[in-house]
């Protein structure tokens, strides 16, 4: 089987005995799936340039009768893992407000990275072999100068805090 979105849709058309993109899209709509005949026809023609929504990818997987991972890989979109909240330790609700804020900040930073990677690395919805080269940015590790600058800033902050505390006591 051709594991592109177009290939999965052709497989879905064969399985559902749909004679056209319109017929497959209408069938998807009747089943409550998030896939229109316009999307089907554009994907089949190679003119679908939008990033497909997760519900659309799920609909294609359902119609093609493949595991969702196959459709997500064909779309060039990472598949979501289990709900993150389910993986947190039971006592997470005991965190103080400033700890919660820090954790949420870290999660938001990671999500920002993931979303920017999805935007820059998203595979176009073309047949295999027609896509351009993917460029992956590799973050550079901090240099010794960066580390020393961070240490110096932390030292200045500690010294400033000590000076302030000492100044208040007199």
Q: Return phi, psi of residue 16, to 5°.
A: -90, 0
Segments making up each domain of the chain, as ranges? 5-137, 140-170
Query: 75-132, pLDDT tens digit by residue?
Result: 999 888 888 888 999 899 999 999 999 999 898 988 888 777 666 544 455 454 444 5
Mean pLDDT of the chain: 84
Model pLDDT, residue 20:
97
User: Is the whole model's pTM more than 0.75, yes or no?
Assistant: no
Spatial distance between the Cα atoms of 1 and 136, rounded to a whole number of angstroms = 28
Model pLDDT, residue 48:
94
């Amino acid at each position: 089987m051709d594991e592109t979105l177009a290939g999965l849709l052709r497989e879905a058309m064969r399985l559902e005995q749909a004679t056209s993109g319109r017929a497959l899209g209408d069938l998807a709509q009747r089943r409550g799936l998030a896939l229109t005949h316009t999307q089907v026809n554009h994907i089949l023609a190679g003119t679908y340039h939008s990033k497909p929504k997760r519900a659309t990818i799920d609909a294609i997987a359902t119609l093609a009768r493949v595991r969702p991972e196959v459709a997500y890989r064909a779309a060039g979109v990472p598949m979501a893992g289990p709900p993150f909240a389910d993986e947190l330790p039971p006592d997470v609700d005991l965190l103080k407000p400033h700890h919660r804020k820090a954790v949420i900040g870290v999660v938001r930073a990671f999500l920002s990275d993931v979303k920017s990677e999805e935007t820059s690395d998203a595979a176009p919805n073309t047949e295999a072999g027609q896509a351009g080269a993917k460029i992956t940015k590799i973050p550079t590790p901090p240099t010794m100068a960066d580390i020393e600058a961070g240490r110096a800033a932390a030292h200045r902050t500690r010294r400033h805090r000590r000076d302030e505390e000492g100044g208040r006591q007199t």
